[in-house]
Amino acid sequence: MEKNGQPESLNLPQLLAQAKYWFDTAVSTAMEDAGERPITLAQQNVFAHLASDGTTVSDLSRRMGITRQSAHQAVHALIEMGLLEQVPDPASARSRLIVMTDEGRRVHLLARSVIAGLEEELAQRLGEATVTALRATLQRPWGPPRRDPGTS
């Protein structure tokens, strides 16, 4: 982006979004190159927020920061692909948990391997110390966001 012929500096949320886009695009490309069926970013996001023992659609929507309807659409597309399934929730007779199928676990493990490779590539490009510091910084608790971040 440029403003008056000069590169415009990006704020932190924009930089974080660009970094996420880099990973999302690289993962999608690598998975397709490996012969996997393409899935949308919303569907990738389901896998990123799915607990290993299963998650309700309502919990997924909260974790993903999207509407329940959007989460439901992404989940059901993945169910149709055979990557997820619904099972009874042992904690609630009225709820159903979304869990990975064996095929979903296989694809998820492959994606995690791709991400590990991308992290190694990033360390080669930016330096191991930089990536280690970035990870440590992002893992630190930020605390809850203030209601009005523009004031002190």
Query: Which of helix, strand or coil describes residue 8?
Result: coil
- Judged on CB neighbours under 10 Å (0-12, 13-18, 19+), 11 is exposed
Query: Which of helix, strand or coil describes residue 5?
Result: coil
Query: Which of helix, strand or coil describes residue 57?
Result: helix
Kindly indicate the confidence band of residue 148, based on its pLDDT and cuts at 50, 70 and 90. Answer: confident
> pLDDT tens-digit profile of 40-72?
988 999 999 999 999 999 999 999 999 999 999
DSSP H or E run through 92: strand 92-100
Give the largest Cα separation in the chain, rounded.
62
Question: Does residue 2 register a pLDDT over 90?
Answer: no
Angle of the 41-49 helix axis to the 12-33 helix axis, nearest 10:
100
